[in-house]
Amino acid sequence: MTDVTDLRPGNYFTEDGNIYQVMDILLNKTAMRKMIADVKVKNVRTGTISRITHNAGYGVELIRLDKRSMQYLYDNGDALVFMDQETYDQIEISKSLLEWELQFLKGDEIVDITSYNDEILGISLPAKVALTITECEPAVRGDTVTSARKDATLETGLHIKVPLFINNGETVLVRTDTGEYDGRA
């Protein structure tokens, strides 16, 4: 057990059956009170961000999450199939667990699978992915004063806004944290 005041951003711990990642911690000590730790945490299973407050001396169990690089193979309907590059073991991950990540996955991509005690918690995508535009509106010059954007549909079905100079068939970089256009690939 580790004292709650020893937590640092990036640490993972369990409490009440939940797995949390420490986002930020504030320690408050006033004259006649014990130190209070106000911890901003992210629930790894649900993705919700909340605050947990405990007095100094409260113990939490630090844990370590396992990460393995795996290749995305295919979609089998209600799950996605990934293969370990070294052992060739295949695993299936439910689509409901990967709703956001589905928008950025193409076949044969290498991703990091995060797990704890053989429970798969999710996947980690690269910061940016290159995707091809399958459909976008034609650009019309002179419509705007500043940098204008138009709608585009990518090969994975994701809809984004791109600058007017981007055309059908071009490959663009998309940020996986926000789902926004980042530049040409």
pLDDT tens-place string over residues 108-140: 888 999 999 988 888 888 889 999 999 988 776
The percentage of residues in the chain with a pLDDT greater than 70, rounded to a whole number, is 96
Query: Rounded distance, CA 150 to CA 140, Å?
Result: 10
pTM: 0.72
State how far the alpha carbon of 140 is from the alpha carbons of 57, 77, 168, in Å: 64, 40, 15
- Using pLDDT thresholds of 50, 70 and 90, give the confidence band for residue 175: very high
User: Residue 127 class from Cβ within 10 Å (0-12 exposed, 13-18 middle, 19+ buried)?
Assistant: exposed
